């Protein structure tokens, strides 16, 4: 029998609860501890999810010698300080997306992880979902030829007030960080890092982006370009929390295309189209999909890796750098940007 990987959880909100629920269907995972900024919050979450060790401070979790890896959830601005504390204490970290509020913070986490020789990954679950991994295999095999374009939308109409985190600048609000990170991650996966970035946005009264449109351009000559990318390519991406969108994605190539249905960030199927032929490919999975980055993180820990080939630091940093450029163009800033 293989000893289970023992998890600690930072934060007690909805995403943390969904992650713990998905870990419940992973045979070799054990949720050992949860940390919040209050004893009451940690205690309630621990009772509800049958977690034996509730901690009212992050420091207490960082000091627990029995925790192998920590999942960091919570509001976006909390990701950097919480993950940094855990990494400095020698804990492996799987951090919810976006890994930080800006690229300098993400670069700092990568540096701290390297200094302490501990595992770090952003929990960009889209990259680990079985259907997306199958799409990568097909694209690499040449099923749609050279990839020329990616189009993706993640938009929905949320009836939320100015106090909600989506509209709160102090909490890293806005469509880009919360939703746009998914289309950007998909574009990065199939096209690499862009050479040009152009963005426009519709700002909320609170000064965050309620909706953002992005055009990325790619040219020949980049050493980090995927081998399947055409010499010239582009991505058209949209995100919004104030209007209903398709939430679909398309990867277009010289020989065909792959259409991912609504909910493209966690698909259970896709359609491969070549000429008049259309093949529906179904790749079902149990749970909500959040367990897949956890499974990958545990695989890396058992293999002694400090970086995942499915969730590489370079991809995380590339997306964060692109988001910083977009925010500069649309005029959205956060308190952490001034640090």
**Residues carrying an active site annotation:** 97
Q: Which two tokens stand for residue 177?
A: 């960080």
Residue with tokens 């400090």: 306
Looking only at the bridges linking them, the beta strands covering 196-203 and 209-218 are antiparallel
Beta carbons of 123 and 130 less than 8 angstroms apart = no
DSSP 8-state assignment for residue 4? P
Residue 40, Ramachandran bin (φ over 0: left; ψ between -120 and 50: alpha; else beta): alpha
Nearest-10 crossing angle of helices 14-23, 39-49: 30
DSSP 67-86: --EEEE-SSHHHHHHHHHHH
Instruction: Single out the residue of 246, 265, 192, 201 nearest to residue 224, CA to CA.
Output: 192
């Amino acid at each position: 029998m293989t000893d289970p990987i023992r998890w600690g959880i930072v934060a007690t909100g909805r995403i943390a609860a969904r992650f713990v629920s998905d870990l419940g269907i992973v045979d070799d995972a054990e949720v050992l501890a949860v940390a919040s900024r209050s004893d009451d919050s940690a205690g309630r979450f621990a009772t509800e999810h049958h977690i034996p060790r509730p901690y009212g401070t992050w420091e207490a979790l960082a000091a627990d010698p029995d925790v192998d890896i920590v999942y960091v959830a919570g509001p976006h601005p909390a990701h950097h300080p919480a993950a940094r504390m855990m990494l400095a204490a020698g804990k492996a970290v799987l951090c919810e997306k976006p890994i930080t509020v800006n690229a300098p913070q993400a670069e700092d986490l990568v540096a701290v992880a390297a200094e302490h020789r501990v595992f770090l990954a952003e929990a960009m679950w889209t990259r680990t979902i079985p259907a997306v991994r199958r799409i990568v295999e097909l694209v690499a095999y040449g099923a749609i030829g050279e990839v020329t374009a990616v189009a993706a939308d993640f938009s929905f109409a949320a009836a939320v007030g100015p106090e909600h985190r989506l509209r709160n600048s102090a909490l890293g609000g806005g469509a880009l960080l919360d939703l746009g990170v998914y289309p950007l991650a998909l574009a990065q996966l199939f096209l690499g890092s862009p050479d040009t970035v152009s963005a426009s946005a519709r700002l909320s009264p609170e000064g965050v982006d309620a909706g953002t449109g992005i055009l990325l351009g790619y040219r020949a000559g980049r050493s980090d370009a995927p081998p399947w990318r055409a010499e010239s390519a582009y991505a058209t991406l949209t995100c919004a929390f104030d209007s209903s969108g398709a939430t679909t994605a398309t990867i277009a190539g010289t020989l065909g295309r792959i259409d991912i249905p609504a909910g493209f960030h966690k698909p259970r199927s896709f359609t491969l189209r070549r000429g008049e032929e259309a093949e529906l490919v179904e790749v079902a999975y149990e749970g909500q999909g959040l367990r897949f980055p956890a499974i990958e993180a545990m695989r890396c820990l058992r293999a002694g890796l400090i970086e995942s080939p499915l969730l590489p630091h370079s991809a995380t940093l590339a997306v964060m750098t692109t988001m910083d450029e977009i925010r500069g163009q649309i005029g959205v800033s956060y308190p952490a940007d001034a640090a």
